[in-house]
């Protein structure tokens, strides 16, 4: 489990037959061991090797299909986050690293010292989103400003802009999206108690 507070930015070295190799600082590499988890752009991966400034991780076929990791190329920057410790401050929100789907950046607007991002998402994602709710974008814990039928907007403060890969995104880019787990459980519970006709209409 994670919190959506990025530990550092890594760099993709290469995509292998079984997963990814990512260059990271010695400080993060030495804190990871075989079989432990690391979030790469918000996707929870299992570490197969962590040494000499490189993290190697397996990637399942489902993860390639469900996320934008398959579009990563050598030299691409990625957000890295170490797993949450029991005694850690939870500065973001609970993020599982289980990406729900891919969104597309439709607009990036500078507003003073901050930035406003608008993203397009499929209906199966947007139906779980609410104004002022939590969302993870490429693993970053953000607060939704406004949610609509197939879009949502988030504000990015200068610190987050500088210390994550968001400063590299542009219109047309794809990003990993994870819905707040509380929203998913609430939706599941409500749908289970609705008449079949209404439950179907929510899909």
Could you tell me the pLDDT band of residue 187, with boundaries at 50, 70 and 90? Answer: confident
Q: Where in the chain are the domains?
A: 8-81, 101-192
**Which of 44-53, 85-94, 128-137 shows the lowest per-residue confidence on average (mean pLDDT)?**
85-94
Could you tell me the pLDDT band of residue 143, with boundaries at 50, 70 and 90? Answer: very high
pLDDT at 203: 43
Read off the pLDDT of each residue in 152-176 and give the average, rounded to a whole number.
Answer: 97
Mean pLDDT of the chain: 92
CATH class of segment(s) 101-192: mainly beta
Q: Which CATH architecture has domain 8-81?
A: Beta Barrel (2.40)
pLDDT in tens, 42-77: 999 999 999 999 999 999 999 999 999 999 999 999
pLDDT at 86: 79
Distance between CA 200 and CA 203 in Å, rounded?
Answer: 6
pLDDT at 159: 97
* Integer Rg of the chain from CA: 17
pLDDT at 195: 62
pLDDT at 87: 79
Could you tell me the pLDDT band of residue 179, with boundaries at 50, 70 and 90? Answer: very high
DSSP assignment of 112-140, as one string? TTEEEEEEE--HHHHTT--TT-EEEETTE
Do 8-81 and 101-192 have matching folds? yes
Q: What is the longest distance spanned by two Cα atoms in the chain?
A: 57
Distance between CA 119 and CA 117 in Å, rounded?
Answer: 6
């Amino acid at each position: 489990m994670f919190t959506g507070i990025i530990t550092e930015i890594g760099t993709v070295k290469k995509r292998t037959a079984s997963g990814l190799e990512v260059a990271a600082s010695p400080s993060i590499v030495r804190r990871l061991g075989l079989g432990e988890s690391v979030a790469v752009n918000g996707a929870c991966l299992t570490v197969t090797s962590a040494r000499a400034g490189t993290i190697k991780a397996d990637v399942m076929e489902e993860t390639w299909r469900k996320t934008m990791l398959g579009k990563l190329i050598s030299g691409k920057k990625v957000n890295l986050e170490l797993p949450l410790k029991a005694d850690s401050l939870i500065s973001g929100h609970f993020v599982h690293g289980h990406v729900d789907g891919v969104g597309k950046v439709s607009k990036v607007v500078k507003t003073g010292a901050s930035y406003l991002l608008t993203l397009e998402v499929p209906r199966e994602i947007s139906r779980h989103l609410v104004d002022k709710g939590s969302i993870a974008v490429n693993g970053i814990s953000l607060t939704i400003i406004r949610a609509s039928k197939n879009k949502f907007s988030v504000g990015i403060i200068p610190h987050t802009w500088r210390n994550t890969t968001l400063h590299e995104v542009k219109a047309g880019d794809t990003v990993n999206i994870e819905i707040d787990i509380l929203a998913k459980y609430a939706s599941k519970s409500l749908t289970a108690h609705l008449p079949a006709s209404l439950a179907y209409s929510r899909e």
